[in-house]
């Protein structure tokens, strides 16, 4: 047998061979390239009929032809229905991030408000992530600013506590929030729990859209207090009503006829797209966010909208109504899939008139403006990266720049930070933090910390590349520091066999003056750039962002350590027992003063645990 006849099948020939064994049923197919690179994920009503089209060689675009030519393997999964296939396709696209699919980027979770019910006095707080806390959740809010604004209003209007349970249990007098009329102070009994529960119910009603009823009740109570000559109480109610009234003034646009809906507007131009998302809950605008999905210039708007919606709601609750400016492809299938996932009927509509149309038009205006700004920024960014390539004598403009900085105080809570920048600006979903783990380092050893950070980052890169994975590799590495930091970085990369990556040290000027930075490169004398050089300003931004990220990570770590309760260090004391101990003694200090015999009187604390707690606070004595 000749070598040619034994060569593995690729591209259209491979697909033609696979099609013979495919069923005529719904399912999902995956196309992979060299070294298992994910190329494309698609769904089909009939796997056999859909996939055979790739083997026939008749393609609408050169991009699809290239995708087929690059295909080296395929995988298939059958499903019961086409709607099931769509849901699986969405999930796999988000997992695999295939090269030729429309891809939603920067898909972070949204903040919510939760009224936590695990305590007799319900707590009002911001929340992200899974609904693991017992309580009522309200959201999503598009940004931390939007949720903080609403929390601020709720505190003024309903006086609900936001403090932690341990702080609540240890209070002996009202806190500052009570002094500025943002908390009713149930912790010290200034309001009875039944009355506090009434405030909680009012806040819940407000968040569910019953604003007019809540305000009408407050107005009636204010009038009754005024008629009864209780002027201080009437003034307090007046202030609460004003807080609620301010919601309509603070939000740019609200909805009179919509209780719950998400509004999406797509604008595409020049091979790029922006999708602007607005959230409306309880008739209020809870914020908006712009997304820039990865698209190709050959992608049609209906396909972009369908792919975006599917990936957007893969891990988010789906409202009853979704308003769009572009009807998504396979809209009936998308409705059916969302209805299955949400367990309630989901309507996807492109409104033609009225208030709903106005909301979509407003979102579209925002999408156009956001994409215009993005295109202008990308043009300027490309020019800057070309200049960076010239300054550091790179073979080409860098597509991925990694910048490293460390932060600590006298060696304590030491962390390293990595930020990433490229043609689309800072890529915050690529940032990484490194807790310094080497206990043998001399406190404040910046060289040692940089060695540890770079060793961990690039040893992982080396392993991923050795395994054939498509790992992100920087085109340029910037380290905060001069010749010493540069040499530490070069030594690490040399040891790991990834010494073909350009590395530059950026040393701050005398007295940390911006504009007087010196740059260090191997084999070259240190040099400076012109004070008004655009490249210098750009490199300063990169360095400042790395410093901001590193010091922010350090402060968070230090704050977490300061918040740590001594009870957390005792084996056998979980959240429930800690809560019981703090409730009994008010604080960890109160627990430390108790005898072992007294500790056994606390619910859940037996003799052995009481002795362990008692000994823990006296181990240094």
pLDDT band at 1 (very low <50, low <70, confident <90, very high): very low
Among the candidates 72, 96, 120, a domain finishes at: 96
Whether 545 and 579 map to the same domain: the answer is no
pLDDT of residue 254: 54
378 within a domain of the structure (yes/no):
no
In terms of domains, do 322 and 408 share one? no
Other C-beta atoms within 10 Å of 79: how many? 19
pLDDT at 164: 87
**Is 340 part of a structural domain of the chain?**
yes
Q: Decide if pLDDT at 149 tops 50.
A: yes
pTM as predicted: 0.66
Of 74-88, 113-127, 234-248, 300-314, the one with minimum mean pLDDT is: 234-248
For residue 24, the model assigns a pLDDT of 93
Q: What is the pLDDT of residues 214-271, one digit of tens each?
A: 777 778 878 887 778 877 777 777 877 776 766 544 444 555 667 789 999 999 987 8
* 527 and 405, same domain (yes or no): yes
Two structure tokens written together for 113? 């408000």
Separation of alpha carbons 270 and 379, rounded Å: 12
Count the neighbouring beta carbons within 10 Å of the beta carbon of residue 21. 8
Q: Are residues 324 and 222 in the same domain?
A: no
Structure tokens at 527: 């040099």
Q: Same domain, yes or no, for 556 and 576? A: no
Pairing between β-strand 412-422 and β-strand 284-291 as defined by DSSP bridges: unpaired
List all residues 6 or more positions away from 278 whose beta carbon is below 8 Å from its beta carbon.
Answer: 142, 262, 263, 285, 287, 288, 359, 362, 363
Burial of 196 (0-12, 13-18, 19+ CB in 10 A): buried
Whether the pLDDT of residue 410 is over 90: the answer is no
- Residue 577 and residue 592 in contact, taking contact as beta carbons nearer than 8 Å: no
DSSP for 254-266?
--SS-SEEEEEEE
Q: What is the CATH number of the domain that holds 608?
A: 1.10.150.20
Last residue of a domain, one of 32, 65, 96: 96
Show Cβ contacts of residue 467 under 8 Å, excluding neighbours closer than 6 positions.
Answer: none
Residue 418 — φ and ψ, nearest 5°?
-125, 125
Count of all residues that appear for the chain in the document: 621
128 shares its domain with 235: yes
Q: Please report whether residue 385 resides in a domain.
A: no
Rounded-to-integer distance, Cα 124 and Cα 147, Å: 12
- Residue 539 Cα distances to 135, 479, 508, 533, angstroms: 47, 11, 12, 10
Kindly state the average pLDDT of the residues 459-488.
87
* Chain segment 555-597, per-residue pLDDT in tens: 776 666 555 567 777 888 888 888 888 777 777 777 888 888 8
The per-residue pLDDT of the chain, averaged, comes to 85
Same domain, 21 and 164: no
Domain count, the chain: 5
* pLDDT for res 393: 92
**pLDDT given at position 75:** 95
- For the domain that residue 297 is a member of, what is the CATH number? 3.30.420.10
Residue ranges in 522-593 assigned as alpha helix (H): 534-563, 575-585, 588-593
Helix, strand and coil content of the chain, in percent to the nearest 5, comes to 50, 20, 35
Long-range contacts of 371-376 (CB under 8 A, 24+ apart): 371/267, 371/268, 371/269, 371/272, 371/273, 371/274, 371/292, 374/272, 374/274, 374/292, 375/269, 375/270, 375/272
Is there a domain that residue 149 lies in? yes
Bridge-based pairing of strands 503-507 and 518-520 is: antiparallel
- Domain interval for residue 430: 401-561
Instruction: Identify whether 621 is part of a domain.
Output: no
125: helix, strand or coil:
strand
Half-sphere exposure of 291 (CA within 13 A, CB side): 26
d(CA 43, CA 39): 14
Half-sphere exposure of 186 (CA within 13 A, CB side): 22
Q: Which residues fall within 8 angstroms of residue 434, CB to CB, at 6 or more apart?
A: 415, 416, 417, 418, 452, 453, 456, 457
Contacts of 455 (CB under 8 A, 6+ apart): 492, 495, 496
Q: Name residues whose C-beta falls within 8 Å of residue 529's C-beta, 6 or more positions apart in sequence.
A: 391, 517, 519, 535, 536, 539
* CA–CA separation, 228 and 607 (whole Å): 57
Rounded CA gap, 332 and 309, in Å? 13
* Domain assignment present for 121: yes
User: Whole-angstrom Cα distance, residue 392 to residue 135?
Assistant: 55
The answer as to whether 85 is a domain residue is yes
Confidence check: pLDDT of 107 > 60? yes
Q: What is the pLDDT of residue 412?
A: 59
Same domain for 192 and 288 = no
Peptide bond into 140 cis (omega under 30): yes
State in Å, rounded, how far the first CA of the chain is from the last one.
Answer: 84
In a domain, 496, yes or no: yes
Encoding tokens for residue 167?
């702080």
Distance, in Å, from the CA atom of 445 to the CA atom of 447, rounded to the nearest integer, reads 6
Please tell me whether residues 445 and 487 are part of one structural domain. Answer: yes
Q: Are residues 204 and 329 part of one domain?
A: no
Position with higher pLDDT, 9 vs 217: 9
Listed in sequence order, the DSSP H helices in 397-440 are none
Query: Would you say 43 and 280 are in contact if contact means Cβ atoms under 8 Å apart?
Result: no
Q: Are residues 140 and 37 in the same domain?
A: no
DSSP E strand stretches across 385-431: 401-409, 412-422, 425-426
Contact present, 513 and 524 (Cβ < 8 Å): no
Question: Do 325 and 278 contact (CB within 8 A), yes or no?
Answer: no
CB 289 within 8 A of CB 367: no
Q: Quote the pLDDT of residue 250.
A: 46
pLDDT value, residue 249:
47
Smallest Cα–Cα separation from 275: which of 360, 202, 170, 193?
Answer: 360
């Amino acid at each position: 047998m000749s070598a040619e006849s034994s060569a593995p099948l690729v591209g259209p020939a491979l697909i033609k061979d696979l099609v013979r064994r495919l069923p005529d049923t719904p399912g999902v197919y995956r196309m992979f390239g060299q070294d298992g690179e994910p190329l494309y994920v698609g769904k089909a009503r009939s796997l056999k009929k859909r996939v055979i089209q790739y083997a026939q060689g008749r393609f609408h675009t050169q991009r699809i032809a290239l995708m087929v030519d690059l295909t080296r393997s395929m995988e298939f999964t059958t499903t019961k229905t086409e709607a099931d296939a769509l849901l699986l396709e969405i999930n796999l696209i988000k997992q695999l991030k295939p090269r030729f699919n429309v891809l939603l980027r920067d898909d972070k979770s949204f903040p919510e408000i939760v009224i936590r019910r695990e305590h007799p006095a319900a707590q009002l707080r911001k929340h992200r992530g899974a609904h693991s806390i017992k309580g009522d959740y309200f959201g999503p809010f598009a940004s931390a600013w939007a949720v903080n604004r609403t929390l601020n209003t709720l505190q003024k209007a309903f006086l609900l506590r936001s403090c932690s349970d341990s702080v609540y249990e240890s209070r002996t007098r009202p806190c500052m929030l009570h002094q500025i009329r943002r908390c009713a102070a149930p912790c010290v009994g200034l309001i009875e729990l039944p009355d506090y529960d009434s405030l909680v119910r009012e806040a819940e009603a407000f968040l569910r859209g019953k604003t007019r009823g809540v305000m009408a009740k407050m107005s009636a109570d204010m009038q009754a207090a005024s008629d009864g000559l209780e002027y201080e109480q009437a003034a307090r109610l007046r202030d609460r009503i004003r807080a609620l009234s301010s919601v309509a003034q603070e939000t740019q646009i609200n909805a009179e006829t919509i209780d719950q809906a998400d509004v999406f507007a797509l604008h595409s131009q020049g091979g790029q797209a922006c999708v602007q998302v607005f959230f409306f809950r309880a008739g209020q605008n809870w914020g908006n966010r712009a997304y820039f999905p990865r698209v190709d210039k050959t992608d049609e708007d209906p396909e972009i909208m369908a792919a975006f919606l599917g990936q957007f709601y893969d891990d988010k609750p789906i409202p009853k109504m979704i308003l769009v400016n572009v009807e998504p492809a396979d809209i009936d299938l998308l409705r059916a899939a969302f209805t299955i996932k949400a367990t309630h009927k989901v309507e996807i509509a492109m409104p033609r008139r009225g208030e709903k149309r106005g909301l979509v038009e407003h979102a579209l205006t925002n999408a156009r403006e956001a994409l215009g700004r993005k295109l202008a920024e990308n043009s300027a960014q490309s020019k800057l990266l070309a200049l960076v390539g010239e300054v550091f004598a790179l073979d080409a403009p860098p597509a991925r720049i990694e910048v490293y900085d460390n932060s600590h105080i006298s060696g304590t809570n030491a962390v390293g930070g990595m930020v990433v920048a490229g043609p689309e600006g800072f890529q915050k979903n690529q940032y990484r933090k490194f807790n310094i783990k080497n206990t043998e380092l001399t406190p404040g050893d910046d060289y040692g910390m940089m060695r540890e950070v770079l060793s961990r980052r690039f040893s992982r890169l080396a392993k991923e590349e050795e395994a054939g994975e498509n790992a992100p590799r920087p085109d340029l590495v910037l380290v905060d520091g001069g010749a010493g930091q540069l040499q530490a970085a070069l030594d690490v990369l040399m040891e790991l066999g990834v010494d073909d990556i350009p590395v530059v040290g950026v040393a701050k000027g005398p007295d940390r003056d911006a504009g007087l930075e010196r740059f260090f490169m191997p084999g070259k004398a240190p040099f400076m750039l012109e004070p008004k050089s655009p490249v210098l300003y750009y490199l300063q931004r990169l360095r400042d962002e790395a410093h901001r990220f590193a010091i922010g990570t350090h402060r968070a770590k230090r704050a977490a350590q300061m918040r740590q309760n001594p009870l957390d260090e005792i084996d056998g004391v979980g959240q429930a027992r800690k809560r019981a101990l703090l409730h009994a003694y008010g604080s960890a200090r109160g627990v430390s003063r108790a005898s072992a015999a007294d500790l056994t009187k606390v619910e859940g604390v037996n003799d052995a645990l009481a002795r362990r707690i008692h000994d823990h606070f006296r181990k240094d004595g």
